[in-house]
Chains A and B, each alone.
Chain A
Amino acid sequence: MEMFIQMLVAGILIGGVYALIGLGMTLIMGVMRIINLAHGQLMMVAMYITFALFQFFDLDPYFALLVAMPCLFLLGVVIQKYFLNPLLKIDSVIPQNQILMTVGIGIVLTETIRFIFRSDYKSVKTSYSTATFMIGNISWNVPMFVAFGLAVLLTTGLFFFLLKTDTGRSVRATAQNKDAAMILGINAEWITQLTYGLGAAMAAAGGTLLLPIYYLFPDVGGQFTLKAFVITVLGGMGSTVGAIMGGLVLGVAETLGATYISMDLKDAFGMVIFVLVLVFMPGGLKTLTKV
């Protein structure tokens, strides 16, 4: 039982960070109706920025958030402006060419990083990387705990932005009905760029928060792309509340599955849940909450 609770705690903590990554993807999905298959790769770029800052300037990973997030925001805006938006004007047999474009961008990002940093595994070793504290019999990993806290903070900030500010309202309007939003004078082109930038910045935050406990290599992005889209579908496409729940569910399912079934299949559990959700609950978790 103690083991179970311990694993549950670990699952929820990692789930909070997953939720952050999933939120970025869900935002992009909601506004542009495409799955961003470069999401994990954007996150990987942010991780390398943090790593470089730590290596050369000895900057703490948590402060690096302040650099990595704006950088990725800019990168996201550029990608949306020069690579994804122009595709809307092209007629082709394949309607999903934006998704394919994100795949291409993902490959280029991975290879660029491989070119600069080589393929070796890297990690950021901080003084608190392995620190833990105990509450009762349950041990809490300090960096995971901080990551969870910051993830909650950033998520709250995002919700405030989406619900209370004018720009946030424009984002939601564009997600609901792009044409109607444009008629009402919203600059939809800029909103898509902003959204992609925000999505990328959220992914950057997720990556940076994971860095003190995770190792780093150029191909790390692929697995997080898969996780992010599992979360997005699990929560219901375009639903922000759903994405948070999806992230937590995925985190718990992975940790419990790895403990009780098989370590090797850890990454497959997410996929299996994903297919089951698609088949039995196509609307995702958001159908349960009606939000």
Chain B
Amino acid sequence: MKSKYAIIAAIALLVLFPLMVGSDYYRHIFIIALMWVVIGSSWNLLAGYTGQISFGHAIFFGVGAYTAGICTTQLGISAWWGMLLGGPVAMVFGFLMGSICFRLRGSYFNLATLAIAEILRLVAKSWTSFTEGMMGILTIQTFRSKVPYYFLALGLAGLCVFTIYKIMKSKWGFYFVAIREDQDAAEALGISSFRYKTYSLLVSSFFTGLAGAFYMNYMGFIDPDVVFSLYYISIMAILVAILGGAGLIWGPPVGAFIMVLLQELFRSAFFGMAPKWVSNAHAMAFGILVIVVIRYMANGIVGDWPKIHGLWAREKVIPSATSGN
């Protein structure tokens, strides 16, 4: 019950945020964080719930972003059409990727997804006549104010989290978890693991593609090294989910906000309070964060909350046997 109020309060706070805070800088950070909520949650659906750890979510993000960009450069229509097309096009790529990668398990699967993302990055870089190559795609933003983008991102994040929540309450959700826990046992019970993994991947790629299309519209500039980046998209998606708590519905949203804020703290050298070299070290901070999170918070902030809470709560907390919701 208590958590229900907390969620309502958090949503109310997010809706009111752009009305209360006038600074475009803070609005920008929140927009990016909301975008990461979408990507992290979609990664979580495929990896945290279905157990297929993708190292290549940049595929869908990049494809979504390039769909929106190419709408303007090649088709001559508004990049907003990308918001309609980006998701479905990413799903097509998701289907192709699934038909290749779902034959593989464990490390093989991880690496195949990583390799496909790298192939797409290199193709986007060298196919200059279609993607503009290294020059990237530049469009003009529609709105000067951040507020419309903010609510779009909020809507997208809400839709994504809600959809995943609903899926996980349905029959699909139980199938997904069954596949994560033991694929062979799930097969033996008559669950077609290939089909349900593909469903999971399709939903996941759809939302990541939408986030990509949103990024193109919001930032107005993309290039292959940014949107197909291994470290700053694929790995970041994993980190966002793990930091918050993989396999938990509220994990990635919490992880996304903390991750983006932390990155911004380092990038701006603690808002200018720390010496200048701190901002040069923001990539290093990212790496250290990866190590610390995996070493000490393998179940994420939401997953390990009883443990973290226990650090200052006097009474001993007994972790519940059934974690998650």
Which of A's residues lie within 8 Å of B, judged by CB?
33-35, 83, 86-87, 90-97, 99-101, 103-108, 110-112, 114-115, 222, 226, 229-230, 233, 237, 262, 264-265, 267-268, 271-272, 274-275, 278-279, 282
Contact = CB atoms under 8 A, between A and B. Distances in A.
B111 A233 contact: yes
B246 A275 contact: no
B294 A100 contact: yes
B47 A94 contact: yes
Contact of A94 (B112, B115, B246, B286): B246
B118 A226 contact: yes
A99 B242 contact: no
A111 B108 contact: no
29 contacts: A33-B107, A35-B111, A87-B298, A90-B298, A92-B246, A93-B48, A93-B246, A93-B299, A93-B303, A94-B242, A94-B246, A95-B53, A97-B294, A100-B290, A103-B231, A105-B287, A107-B286, A107-B287, A110-B287, A111-B284, A114-B283, A115-B281, A115-B284, A222-B230, A265-B123, A275-B100, A275-B112, A278-B104, A282-B104
Given A115-B284, A268-B119, 18 more contacts: A87-B298, A91-B298, A93-B246, A93-B247, A93-B303, A94-B242, A96-B110, A99-B110, A100-B235, A100-B294, A111-B284, A112-B284, A233-B108, A262-B126, A265-B126, A274-B111, A278-B108, A279-B103
Interface SS of B by simple majority: helix
Contact of A264 (B119, B125, B238, B298): B125
Given A226-B118, A265-B122, A271-B118, A107 B283 contact: yes
B269 interface: no
Interface SS of A by simple majority: helix
A93 B104 CA distance: 19
A39 to B, nearest CB: 13
A83 B290 CA distance: 12
Contact of B290 (A86, A93, A96, A101): A101
A226 B118 CA distance: 9
Contacts, number: 131
Q: Which of under 10, 10 to 19, 20 to 34, or 35 or more describes the interface residues of B?
A: 35 or more
Contacts of B110: 35, 96, 99
A103 B238 CA distance: 11
Nearest 4 A/B pairs, CB to CB? A107-B287, A104-B290, A92-B298, A111-B284
A115 B283 CA distance: 11
Nearest to A279: B100
Interface in B225-270: 230-231, 235, 238, 242, 246-247
Contacts of B48: 93-94
A104 B230 CA distance: 12
